[in-house]
Amino acid sequence: MVDGSRCLRVMPNILGPRPTGNHWVSYAYDWIDLLGQAEQDEAEKLAVQRKQNFVRIRPSSVEIMHMDLALSWPAHYLASAP
């Protein structure tokens, strides 16, 4: 049940068409920007790096199948109970 809930939590939550997003190209840093980034304190550097390196790993089809089985098990087990 725990693994099934964990898998459900990382599933993409897509309802309807994709919302409009940012269509601009990625920003090219110039020398002033890079100099300002080098002068940041260590906590800000780590926060920016964490934000830039964030990756959401999506579950595989086998994990999704196991999630469906685990989350539907109580309904099958308790279907005959009043």
pLDDT number for residue 82: 73
pLDDT number for residue 19: 67
7 CB-near residues (< 8 Å, 6+ apart): 59, 63, 64, 66, 67
Alpha-carbon distance 67 to 34, whole Å?
A: 45
Count CB atoms within 10 A of the CB of residue 35: 10
Tell me the per-residue pLDDT of 13-66, one tens digit each, with 9 for 90 and over. 777 776 677 677 777 889 998 898 888 888 988 988 888 888 888 899 999 999
Q: Could you tell me if 66 and 3 are in contact, meaning their C-beta atoms sit under 8 angstroms apart?
A: yes
